[in-house]
């Protein structure tokens, strides 16, 4: 499946009522994010599945691929575009066996060796970071820009920088060979989501 990972929204529903959460996702989709990952670390399987169906209605409306974090079963049930897997999740090669060749599989990598292994197993893109400390509940291990650039030069699949990135600090990535940036709080916590997305798109466009 072809996909554009230039502005990749990773969701965070912490502290939000469901309606507000879904409204934020729709605003972001309408404003121009190119890929959405539903990430729910603290919800039960049933809650995660219910939310996935609702989010997919929104992403389908704007023709944006939906990626499900961790849960291959939920991705299959809602017919999401794919999954994103961390280093402690099921191996990519087994995920590919379950999902088939047409689904997107992304992988979190923090080192060149992890990146090479993910490519060999069949990943379609890499999420590399964290570039900065994050405010999400995910345990943060910092990846320096030198390593990010080494990964970009080593692999032949898209590399997405992630971790604490926003419109004020993404200039640290100027000149890198990344295919896009993944953001959470920069959009989910923005007072004006449309403006935040537009500013990020403007930076991305200036780098192409």
For the record, the structure tokens of 161 come out as: 């920088």
CATH of 7-207, one of 3.20.20.70, 3.40.1410.10, 3.90.78.10, 2.40.50.140: 3.20.20.70
Map residue 92 onto helix, strand or coil.
helix
Q: Which residue has the tokens 């919800």?
A: 43
**Distance from C-alpha of 83 to C-alpha of 105, rounded to nearest angstrom:** 5
- Any idea what DSSP says for residue 37? E
Query: Is the pTM of the predicted complex or chain greater than 0.85?
Result: yes
How is the chain split into domains, by residue range?
A: 7-207
- The 10s digit of each residue's pLDDT in 178-196 is 999 999 999 999 999 999 9
Phi, psi for residue 61 in degrees, rounded to 5: -60, -35
Per-residue confidence at 138, pLDDT binned at 50, 70, 90? low
- Any idea what DSSP says for residue 43? S
- The 10s digit of each residue's pLDDT in 12-56 is 999 999 999 999 999 999 999 999 999 998 999 999 999 999 999
For residue 13, give Cα distances in angstroms to 55, 110, 198.
12, 25, 22
Q: Which residue has the tokens 């032949």?
A: 156
Give the HSE-up count for residue 87: Cα atoms under 13 Å, Cβ half-sphere. 15
């Amino acid at each position: 499946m072809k996909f554009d990972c230039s502005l990749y929204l990773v969701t965070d529903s912490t502290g939000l009522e469901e309606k507000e959460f879904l409204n934020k996702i729709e605003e972001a989709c309408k404003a121009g994010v190119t890929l959405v990952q539903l990430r729910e670390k603290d919800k039960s399987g049933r809650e995660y599945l219910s939310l996935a169906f609702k989010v997919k209605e929104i992403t389908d409306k704007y023709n944006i691929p939906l990626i499900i974090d961790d849960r291959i079963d939920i991705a299959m049930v809602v017919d999401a575009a794919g999954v994103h897997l961390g280093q402690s999740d099921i191996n990519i090669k087994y995920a590919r066996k379950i999902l088939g060749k047409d689904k997107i599989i992304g992988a979190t990598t923090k080192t060149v060796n992890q990146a090479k292994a993910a490519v060999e197993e069949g990943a379609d893109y890499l999420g590399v970071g964290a570039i900065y400390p994050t405010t999400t509940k995910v345990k943060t291990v910092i990846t320096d820009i030198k390593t990010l650039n080494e990964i970009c030069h080593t692999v032949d699949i898209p590399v997405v920088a992630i971790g604490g990135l926003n419109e004020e600090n993404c200039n640290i990535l100027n000149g890198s060979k990344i295919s896009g940036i993944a953001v959470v709080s920069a959009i989910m916590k923005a007072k004006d989501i449309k403006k935040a997305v537009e500013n990020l798109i403007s930076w991305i466009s200036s780098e192409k």
